[in-house]
Structure 1
Amino acid sequence: MIQHDPGALYPDHLAVLCRRAETALARGGFDHLVVPSGTLHYHLFDDRDYPYAVNPQFKAWLPLTRVPHSWLVFTPGKRPTVIFHQPFDYWHVVPDAPSGWWVEHFDIQVIRKPEEALALLPRDRSRCAVLGEPQSTLGEWAPNNPAPVVDYLEYHRACKTPYEIALMRQAQVLGVRGHRAAEAAFRNGADEFSIHMAYCAAVGQDANELPYGNIVALNEHAAVLHYTELGRTAPQPLRSFLIDAGASALGYASDITRTYAAHGHDEFAAMIGAVDAAQQQMCAAVRAGFDYKQLHVDAHLSLMGVLKDFGVLKVSPQTALETGVSAAFFPHGIGHLIGLQVHDVAGFAAGDAGGRIERPDGHPYLRLTRVLEPGMVVTIEPGLYFIDMLLDEVKRAGHGASIDWERVDFFRPYGGIRIEDEVLCTDGEADNLTRPEFALANG
């Protein structure tokens, strides 16, 4: 039986991080790994702070996402240390004292003021790899982010531990709950802002807690890939709804997209169904040893087949790909790594010592170029859009005859379609983390 309890899985996760850190430090010639949790950022000429975002290198070790001015220290052969900032403060809520299944694995030092960390950090700063943002500097302790250490840790972070996968499954459960509430709000005629609020209420997270800003797009707004305006008036007539929204679980993200047609818009609903079927085939193609770049190219051919079937495309899918026509309808990448960050790191890494695998020519927005390995979790998010500026470029490039423009005019008011799941690469068949949760929600 698959173990989904993160507390039970955490000791092995921590052991993996310790082994990785030990190797990374040896490569960089350092004795200690020091990771600040990060600090608050403030508005210019103001005393208001932006929402706090924890250092991903910190939350990889600890299920703590709201403890600024704290530190993680790892020295090979010793228990890792957490310097836990718990200030005396009556202006803000103070973090609870350290508790839970992680505390027994650390030496914990509680500090009341940020500068108290200075006496608890390793004595020789020159022997430390300090991973963080420049603003995390404390006294002489400035992050140096040495490339040999960062490259190694980020490259291997692409392969998730069972603990991480368990938390990502939890994020799926929350995200699907929100998606179901959002669809219901759409079916009831709600505007974009109200749909967004229904999503947040169902997930139990506000906009600052979600892993990214919700994309809630009605009708033509779905043609704006990162539409986040949240209109307060529902368009009339209501034709379509695209939602790209995730949730957070102890620092791990989900990233899910669905598209729906309003009642009576049957042909667009049929196109959604065709993209959905193609997307599931793409998800099933996630295999260890498969080049993600090829999956992206294959997605172009599959999606152009959909447009051909619906009379939008006059040429073959292969011709559309070779002439750049396909990029006008599918202008983004097939997906990305996901985990501690929505667009997780090292998507282009050639190896754990650095280097870069470039994107294929003509595909500037692909976010992952690596060969898939067991433990990687990737998003698969094909899309078809009717974007005027890109379609105008097709005409200017001399390929207007490749498209039936009357069919484009028919579909343009719907904006576009995007379907996105998260898929775990295993030693065998792909493990779709998203679809089972929707199936349970339907049940």
Structure 2
Amino acid sequence: MPNPDALLFARHIEQRSEEIDKILTELGYDGLLIHSGRPENRLLDDQHPPFRAHAPFAALVPEPFTPDCLLELRPGRKPRLWYCQPDDFWHLPPEGPASWWAHCFDIEIVTEPAGWHECFAAQRALAVIGDERALGGLLDGADLNAPELMWRLDEIRTRKTAWERECLARANKRAVAGHLAAARAFRDGGSELEIHLAYVAAVGQDQDQLPYNSICAVNEHAAVLHYQHRNPERPAQSLSFLLDAGADTLGYAADITRTWTGEEHLDFAALIEALDRAQLQLCDELRPGVSFVDLHRRAHLAIAGILEQAGLVRMAPDEQLESGVSSRFFPHGLGHHIGAQVHDVGGQIDAQGQPLPPPDEYPALRLTRRLEPGNVVTVEPGLYFIPSLLEPLRTSEYADRIDWAQVEALSPYGGIRIEDNVLVSEADPVNFTRQAFAVAD
């Protein structure tokens, strides 16, 4: 029986090759070279950060951790992959290309980058994607990361193929297993570090393989939007836990956030439940033609409604939105494209390459387009108690509209974020994250 991965991947490469051939022909290029990347040592050091292939490479070759490979694309020809397998006893070299995907390429095995460098040094009318430091003389007469080429390639990546959707769905299933293990570790009173270790064990990937640095925040740390540490000390009291963590499947990322608390913390638990309901409604509104900017505004109205209903803010949702009060509790964007990059490309540019900057009142919004079938986006509303954002409200004209006693009581809980990864389709949205949780439960 044919390998279903092989069939899906072959269709993916066929579609992308046709799209890229058309772009190269229109721009007058004889070919395109995409480098996977090369590890770069830290300054004055012989160690480098964990390697991950450049996203334009990983979007076409399911080898996200293999450096110094080169993908060669020429109109009308089968893609050629120059696959680097160093003869190295210091590090474990990568395994050879797997048969289920290798048949889509003409494979050339080289033991060092010079094996492909010399083949292109004198060629002209080539486009190249990569880092100038790693490509050196290969760039003579070639266009490096040409802007028009890049936005056109980014544009096709905004509409995921069946292969990419399958990878994203699998990544969600993997990440959900980690989220459930992390929730158990939190309820057992674990430290942030212990919770994180439970997560990576359940996912089956170490920190270097995860698509981004997990946010593992207990109590007030949940109010730090990109909290980057993992406290090894167990908290005196486990009030709340926010986990923003993903997983990788063949170069494609899941990006999931959940927030938990104990049953005895009724007020905070009620806010989590209310935000979860609002998030589900927002997910259901992901339809072709919908403006993500408008959806972001509806998220503000929903969060403002939660604040009003809870008695935290004595203002109507419209008034909170217009005054900017809701932004003090929800300061980030509603979501972004996701794919071979966690914050995937094409979110702030239209199909003709024209910039679509976020509105002045929402500078952190990463996705400003109208949605199309094939888009996969995150939906991640949040409600936080961030002292530096709330303090100015105390001296504002809205100070007497805030229940400060309740704000102070909830501040030790930090905040709430609920995040799903959702496919925009011609019919109903497909929520990869909720599907994965449903299967796991």
Q: Which TM class, normalised by the smaller chain length?
A: over 0.9
Question: Which runs of 5 or more residues in structure 1 are unaligned?
Answer: none
1:300-333 deviation per Cα after TM superposition (whole angstroms, max 9, x unaligned): 0001101111110111111111011010000000
Provide the C-alpha distance between the structure 2 equivalents of 1:229 and 1:120, rounded to a whole number of angstroms.
46
Map 1:19-418 → 2, pairs under 5 A: 19-121=18-120, 123-124=122-123, 126-141=124-139, 144-351=144-351, 353-418=352-417
Which letter does structure 2 place at the counterpart of 1:117? W
Q: Is the 1:4–1:166 contact (alpha carbons within 8 Å) kept by the matching residues of 2?
A: no
- How many residue pairs match? The answer is 438
Q: Is the 2:117–2:138 contact (alpha carbons within 8 Å) kept by the matching residues of 1?
A: no
Provide the C-alpha distance between the structure 2 equivalents of 1:299 and 1:66, rounded to a whole number of angstroms.
37
Partner of 2:418: 419
Provide the C-alpha distance between the structure 2 equivalents of 1:106 and 1:249, rounded to a whole number of angstroms.
20
- Alpha-carbon shift at residue 27 of structure 1 (Å): 3.2
Is 2:440 aligned against 1:441?
yes
Provide the C-alpha distance between the structure 1 equivalents of 2:280 and 2:99, rounded to a whole number of angstroms.
38
Provide the C-alpha distance between the structure 2 equivalents of 1:31 and 1:140, rounded to a whole number of angstroms.
15
Provide the C-alpha distance between the structure 2 equivalents of 1:33 and 1:178, rounded to a whole number of angstroms.
38
Task: Classify the secondary structure of the residue corresponding to 1:182.
Answer: helix
Provide the C-alpha distance between the structure 1 equivalents of 2:31 and 2:51, rounded to a whole number of angstroms.
26
Provide the C-alpha distance between the structure 2 equivalents of 1:375 and 1:45, rounded to a whole number of angstroms.
44
- Alpha-carbon shift at residue 135 of structure 1 (Å): 2.5
Partner of 1:17: 16
1:104-158 deviation per Cα after TM superposition (whole angstroms, max 9, x unaligned): 121111111211212333751x311101122331424376111121110101201
Q: Is the 1:386–1:408 contact (alpha carbons within 8 Å) kept by the matching residues of 2?
A: yes
For the aligned residue pairs, the C-alpha RMSD in angstroms reads: 1.5
Q: Is the 1:171–1:249 contact (alpha carbons within 8 Å) kept by the matching residues of 2?
A: yes
Provide the C-alpha distance between the structure 2 equivalents of 1:389 and 1:13, rounded to a whole number of angstroms.
47
Task: Classify the secondary structure of the residue corresponding to 1:199.
Answer: helix
Provide the C-alpha distance between the structure 1 equivalents of 2:237 and 2:417, rounded to a whole number of angstroms.
21
Task: Classify the secondary structure of the residue corresponding to 1:120.
Answer: helix
Which letter does structure 1 place at the counterpart of 2:133? Q
Provide the C-alpha distance between the structure 2 equivalents of 1:90 and 1:7, rounded to a whole number of angstroms.
32
TM-score (norm 1): 0.96
Provide the C-alpha distance between the structure 2 equivalents of 1:396 and 1:144, rounded to a whole number of angstroms.
52
- Alpha-carbon shift at residue 397 of structure 1 (Å): 4.1
Question: Which runs of 5 or more residues in structure 2 are unaligned?
Answer: none
Percent identical among aligned pairs is 42
Q: Is the 2:252–2:341 contact (alpha carbons within 8 Å) kept by the matching residues of 1?
A: yes
Q: Is the 1:6–1:167 contact (alpha carbons within 8 Å) kept by the matching residues of 2?
A: no
Task: Classify the secondary structure of the residue corresponding to 1:101.
Answer: helix
Provide the C-alpha distance between the structure 1 equivalents of 2:238 and 2:103, rounded to a whole number of angstroms.
54
The alpha-carbon distance between structure 1 residues 138 and 163, as it changes in their structure 2 partners (threshold 3 A), is same
1:345-368 deviation per Cα after TM superposition (whole angstroms, max 9, x unaligned): 1100122x4211121231010000
Provide the C-alpha distance between the structure 2 equivalents of 1:368 and 1:331, rounded to a whole number of angstroms.
15
Q: Is the 1:241–1:261 contact (alpha carbons within 8 Å) kept by the matching residues of 2?
A: yes
Task: Classify the secondary structure of the residue corresponding to 2:416.
Answer: strand
Task: Classify the secondary structure of the residue corresponding to 2:99.
Answer: coil
Q: Is the 1:27–1:149 contact (alpha carbons within 8 Å) kept by the matching residues of 2?
A: no
1:161-183 deviation per Cα after TM superposition (whole angstroms, max 9, x unaligned): 00000000110111000001000
Q: Is the 1:338–1:379 contact (alpha carbons within 8 Å) kept by the matching residues of 2?
A: yes
Task: Classify the secondary structure of the residue corresponding to 2:288.
Answer: coil
